[in-house]
Structure formats: C-alpha cells, structure tokens
Amino acid sequence: MSSVAANGSMDDADAPIVVGVLALQGAFREHIAHLNRLPGVSCVEVRTKEQLLNLDGLIIPGGESTTMANIAQRWGLIPELKNFAEQGRPMWGTCAGLIFLADRASGQKEGGQALLGGLDCKVHRNFFGAQINSFETELPVPQALKAFESGPQGFRAMFIRAPAVLEAGPSVEVLSEYRLTPSEQAVSNGLERVSVAVRSKNLLATAFHPELTEDSRWHKAFVDMVREGSSREGKEALPQGSGKVGSGSLSDKGSGKLPADLPVYKADDKL
C-alpha cells in the first residue's frame, strides 16, 4: 500500500508502476489480465500517443504484425513508440511485438512494414510457418525467470505463426533457444537452433506467447525490468479517461481469475 508523506502527498517510491499494453490489435487483453494479477501494477490500454506519456513500461502484444504496423502508422504512433524506447523505458514485444522491435526482418509481406528497431537482430517474420504449423513445447527456464523459485524448471512456450531470431548482435543477450526438429532443419537451410527470447538493455522480446498460459513468470520478469528502470520524474500525468486501469493480487499458482472470454490455456490443454 502506498504511504502518505508528512505533507499529505503520496510517496512516489511506493506508487504503483504503470505498464501500458499497445491495444491496436492482437492479444492485448490477455497481457492485461496477467498484469492485473501482479501487485503494485496499474495497466493502461494504449491507443494514442498521449497515453504513452506517463508509462513506466510498454508491452507490444502478439497479433498480425503488418496490420498492427499499418494502424500505428495511420495513428502517428511510430515516432512516439521509437522515442519511448530511445528514452530507455522498458518495452517487451511478444511474437508480432518481437518483429516490431527488431532492426531487420525477412519474410515480410510485399511492401514490408514499419519496424521500431532497437534490437540488433534479424528476425524471420513467419519462421515456423502458417497457422496450421502452430505448436507448443516446454523450454528450460532462463536465468531471468529463476528468481521466481516457486515455478517449475521449464516453461510452456506457445508458438502461433511465430517468428524467430536468426541473427543477434553482441549487445543482444539470448535468453532462450529452440532446437529445430530434423524436418524443420530441412526447410531452414540447415539451422540447428534459433533464438526465441532475447534482451538488450531496456528491450525484451519473445517469439512465443506467455500471455496465453497460466504462467505469469515472464510478466513478473518484465515488471522487475520496469521497476529497475523506472523513474517517475519529469513524466506528464495521463489525460483523464486515457485508458483502462486496474490492479490485483497474485498467488504463486497464478490463481487470479481471468475474464472468461480470454483463450488462456491450462497445462493439460493442447493447441
């Protein structure tokens, strides 16, 4: 709970961090449901540049990357999103969001799409194929998640028309890799593995969809990144009515109730 200083104002150190989720298209509500289960976090659905002003961190969700880029361009958000990252404020891109944050991309639709850049890496837009090729697997827990000792040693990774990182520069830390099956190697020029989770300074990116599982450890890890880099000085207040804000509590098992219409998969569910 936030404390009140002697002059009656709220202590900024105890104020909740504000995490936005880009809500132009895609799986933004699923991310918000996870964030609402974490203590000390307020959420904002972001659709305008004004809604970026008071954020401590931003999530770019999975979805259709070209559609998302076109909407962001039409609404004048691309320069504002680039500026957000260049200011050092944490951003996390999942699936389509990974493509957004990459400096270079291949396998794009004709005409390409706008990239925010910042991650010194090359991604392949639909590396794992079409919707019918979507799959799930268990990957070892990276160091970024090991701080949460209550979790299992692996995590469930859901790949839905997923990209992959083919090349990563020296400034990019690889958090998780996926070893290709023999049939996948046969159609990928002999690659044995690809990177599916990376981090560079204030940027985090995952090719899979943690928001579609009950495991909140990736969201906890991003919130930790936001807390480490958060500085509320000099930021403007959000305009009234600028977004939906919520907060909630979290149990280690992730038992916070999610809205019934969100496709969150339990451990025994299959795609």
> Which pLDDT does position 256 carry in this prediction?
36
Looking at the DSSP bridge assignments, the partners of residue 38 are: none
| Tens digits of residue pLDDT in 94-104 | 999 999 999 99
CA–CA dist 18, 11 (Å, integer): 15
CA–CA dist 30, 209 (Å, integer): 10
| pLDDT for 122 beyond 70 | yes
Q: What is the rounded average pLDDT of the residues 171-176?
A: 94
Q: Which residue has the higher pLDDT, 16 or 255?
A: 16
> Which pLDDT does position 110 carry in this prediction?
53
Q: What is the rounded average pLDDT of the residues 240-254?
A: 29
Tokens, residue 156: 């469930």
| pLDDT for 76 beyond 80 | yes
Q: What percent of the chain has pLDDT over 90?
A: 46
Positions annotated as catalytic residues are 95, 209, 211
| pLDDT for 10 beyond 50 | no
| pLDDT for 17 beyond 70 | yes
CA–CA dist 87, 90 (Å, integer): 9
Give me the chain's average pLDDT, please.
78
Pick from 43-57, 168-182, 222-236: least confident: 222-236
Strand positions, DSSP E, the chain:
17-22, 41-46, 57-60, 91-94, 102-106, 119-124, 135-140, 154-159, 164-168, 173-179, 193-200, 203-206
Pick from 49-53, 108-112, 149-153, 216-220: least confident: 108-112
Q: What is the rounded average pLDDT of the residues 42-68?
A: 90
Contacts of 30 (CB under 8 A, 6+ apart): 61, 209, 211, 212, 262, 263, 264
> Which pLDDT does position 241 carry in this prediction?
32
CA–CA dist 132, 15 (Å, integer): 44
CA–CA dist 204, 229 (Å, integer): 13
| Tens digits of residue pLDDT in 182-224 | 888 877 887 899 999 999 999 999 999 999 999 899 999 999 9
47 and 24 Cβ atoms separated by less than 8 Å: yes
CA–CA dist 177, 194 (Å, integer): 6
Per-residue confidence at 16, pLDDT binned at 50, 70, 90? confident
Four-way CATH pick for 16-229: 3.90.1300.10, 3.40.50.970, 3.40.50.880, 2.60.40.730: 3.40.50.880
Burial class (CB in 10 A: 0-12, 13-18, 19+), 155: buried
